[in-house]
C-alpha cells in the first residue's frame, strides 16, 4: 500500500489532465488568519488544508487574498507548492466584509496584473471561495480562457431562511452576486448532496456543474488523546462535565442557545452545577461584532457566569486539546454548510451535540457519534445535553464511534476528489462549457 504522496497520488484517477498551477481566490479572509477571529473560520481551514494536499499532488497553488495590514508581505510561502499573494484593495484596516464589494475592481486588477507578469498560460484554472471571490474569479477565468471552479461555503438564500432572532439578513446584492457566479462557473463544488440540491433549487445550478466533495479533517492534529492530561494543561477539573463551544461568536452560530440550555438544565437539576463547566472558545465575528460583550451579559442574566468560561481563539494544536478535554462539543448553529468543527472534535474522540441543519447531519451520525437536535428551543437542547452530563458510559461509547467516523474524512481524499473536479472542468472547457452544451 503506498504511503504519503504516493498514497495521495494513487487516490486520483486518470480521467483527464489535471492543472499544473491554479489561482485560488479568497478575497475577504486570509488563509494565514487565525480561525475563530473576525471572518476567519472553517473556510480558512478548508483553503489551507486543501491547498497543501493539492500541492502534494503536484498542483501548485497560489492563493490571492486581500492585504489587511501594511505589514503583510507581498507573498508568503505557506507550504511547499503553496504561495499566498496579498493584494492591495482598499484601506488595509477598518473594512468589514460588507464593504468589500466596492473593492472588487481593485482586487481584480491586482490579480490580473500578477498574471500579466508571467508568460501566457501561467494558471490553468481558477478556484474561488465565497461569492466575493467568485466575481473576481469569473472575470479572471474569462480573461485567461481557463475554467472557473467555485465553492460557495455559505449561501445568502439559505442563511436568510434560517436567521437567528435579531440577526440581519444577507442583502439582495449578495443574492444577485451569487446567482451571477453560479451562471459563470464551469463547476460548483458542494460540501454535501443537500448543498448541491440547494444550489440547484435556489440558484438554478445545472447537474453538469455540480460536484459533491466532503471536506476533510487533519487527522495528524485532531486525534484521540489523554483527556486527563488535556484537562490538566487547560486548568479544567478532572471530574467536570465539560460542554464546549468552539467557533466564532455571532448569532448564526447560536452560542446563546447553549447558554440558555445550560440554564434550563441547571434549573431542573441544581446539583449539576458543582461539576458543569461550559468553555466558550472563540471571538466575536460578523453581526456579533456590534455587541461583543452580549454573551457575557447573557451568562450573567441567566445566573450561570460561574460555570461559563470565555477563552480567546486558539491555534489548531491547542484547539485539539480543548476537544480532547471536552465531554461533548455543542454546535447549535442556525446554518452550517458542513461544520468542520464537528469533524475535528469527533476525530479527537469527542461526541457532538449539533443542530440538524446544513451539512451537520453528514458530519454527525445521530445517536451514534452524537445527537442531532431539531429546532433551537432551550428546553429541547437541555434534554439533549443531559445524557452527556450524567452518563459516562454513553460519552465513552459515542466518543469511540466518533473517532472511527471522523477517520473516514481525511483531507487526502478531499484533495483527490477536488483534483478530479478540476480535470473534468478542464476537459469540459476544451469541448465548450457543459452548461451550454
Q: Which residues are annotated as a binding site for 1D-myo-inositol 3-phosphate?
A: 28, 39-44, 97, 130, 154, 174
Q: Which residues are annotated as a binding site for UDP-N-acetyl-alpha-D-glucosamine?
A: 34-35, 42, 248, 253, 314, 336, 344
Query: Please, which residues have CB within 8 angstroms of residue 6's CB and are 6 or more apart in sequence?
Result: none
Task: Give the pairing of strands 328-331 and 352-355.
Answer: parallel
What are the b/e assignments for 400-412, b being 16+ CB within 10 Å?
ebbbebbeebbbb
Q: In terms of DSSP H, where are the helices of 391-410?
A: 392-406
**In 3-state terms, what secondary structure has residue 280?**
strand
Measured from the Cβ of residue 269, the count of other Cβ atoms closer than 10 Å reads 13
Q: Which residues pair with 199 in a beta bridge?
A: none
Q: Which residues are annotated as a binding site for Mg(2+)?
A: 323-324, 326, 350
Q: Which residues are annotated as a binding site?
A: 28, 34-35, 39-44, 97, 130, 154, 174, 248, 253, 314, 323-324, 326, 336, 344, 350
**Sheet containing 75-79: order of strands:** 75-79, 82-87, 60-66, 21-26, 125-129, 148-151, 187-190, 210-212
Amino acid at each position: 500500500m503506498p504511503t504519503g504522496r504516493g498514497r495521495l497520488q494513487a487516490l486520483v484517477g486518470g480521467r483527464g489532465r489535471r492543472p499544473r498551477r491554479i489561482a485560488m481566490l479568497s478575497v475577504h479572509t486570509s488563509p494565514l488568519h487565525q480561525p475563530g477571529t473576525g471572518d476567519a473560520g472553517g473556510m480558512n481551514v478548508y483553503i489551507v488544508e486543501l491547498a497543501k494536499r493539492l500541492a502534494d499532488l503536484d498542483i501548485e497553488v497560489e492563493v490571492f487574498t486581500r492585504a489587511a495590514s501594511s505589514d503583510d508581505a507581498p507573498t508568503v510561502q505557506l507550504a511547499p507548492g503553496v504561495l499566498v499573494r496579498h493584494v492591495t484593495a482598499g484601506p488595509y484596516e477598518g473594512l468589514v466584509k460588507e464593504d468589500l464589494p466596492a473593492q472588487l475592481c481593485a482586487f481584480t486588477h491586482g490579480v490580473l496584473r500578477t498574471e500579466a507578469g508571467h508568460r501566457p498560460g501561467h494558471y490553468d484554472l481558477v478556484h474561488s471561495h465565497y461569492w466575493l471571490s467568485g466575481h473576481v474569479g469569473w472575470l479572471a477565468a474569462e480573461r485567461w480562457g481557463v475554467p472557473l471552479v467555485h465553492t460557495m461555503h455559505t449561501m445568502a438564500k439559505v442563511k436568510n431562511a434560517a436567521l437567528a432572532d435579531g440577526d440581519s439578513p444577507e442583502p439582495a446584492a449578495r443574492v444577485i452576486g451569487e446567482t451571477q457566479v453560479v451562471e459563470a462557473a464551469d463547476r460548483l463544488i458542494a460540501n454535501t448532496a443537500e448543498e448541491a440540491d440547494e444550489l440547484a433549487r435556489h440558484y438554478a445550478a445545472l447537474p453538469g456543474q455540480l460536484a459533491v466533495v466532503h471536506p476533510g479533517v487533519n487527522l495528524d492534529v485532531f486525534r484521540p488523546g489523554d483527556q486527563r492530561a488535556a484537562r490538566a494543561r487547560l486548568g479544567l477539573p478532572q471530574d467536570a462535565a465539560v460542554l464546549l463551544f468552539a467557533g466564532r461568536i455571532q448569532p448564526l452560530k447560536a452560542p446563546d442557545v447553549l447558554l440558555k440550555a445550560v440554564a434550563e438544565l441547571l434549573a431542573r437539576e441544581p446539583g449539576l452545577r458543582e461539576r458543569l463547566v461550559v468553555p466558550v472558545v472563540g471571538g466575536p465575528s460578523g453581526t456579533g461584532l456590534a455587541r461583543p460583550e452580549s454573551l457575557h451579559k447573557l451568562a450573567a442574566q441567566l445566573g450561570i457566569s460561574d460555570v461559563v468560561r470565555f477563552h480567546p481563539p486558539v491555534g489548531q494544536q491547542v484547539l485539539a486539546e480543548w476537544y480532547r478535554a471536552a465531554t461533548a462539543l455543542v454546535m447549535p448553529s442556525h446554518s452550517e454548510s458542513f461544520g468542520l468543527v464537528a469533524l475535528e472534535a469527533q476525530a479527537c474522540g469527542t461526541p457532538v451535540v449539533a443542530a440538524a441543519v446544513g451539512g451537520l447531519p453528514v458530519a454527525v451520525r445521530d445517536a451514534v457519534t452524537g445527537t442531532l437536535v431539531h429546532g433551537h428551543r432551550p428546553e429541547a437542547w437541555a434534554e439533549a445535553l443531559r445524557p452527556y452530563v450524567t452518563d459516562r458510559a454513553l460519552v465513552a461509547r459515542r466518543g469511540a464511534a466518533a473517532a472511527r467516523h471522523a477517520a473516514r474524512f481525511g483531507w487526502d481524499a478531499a484533495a483527490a476528489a477536488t483534483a478530479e473536479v478540476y480535470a473534468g472542468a478542464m476537459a469540459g472547457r476544451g469541448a465548450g462549457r457543459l452548461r451550454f452544451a
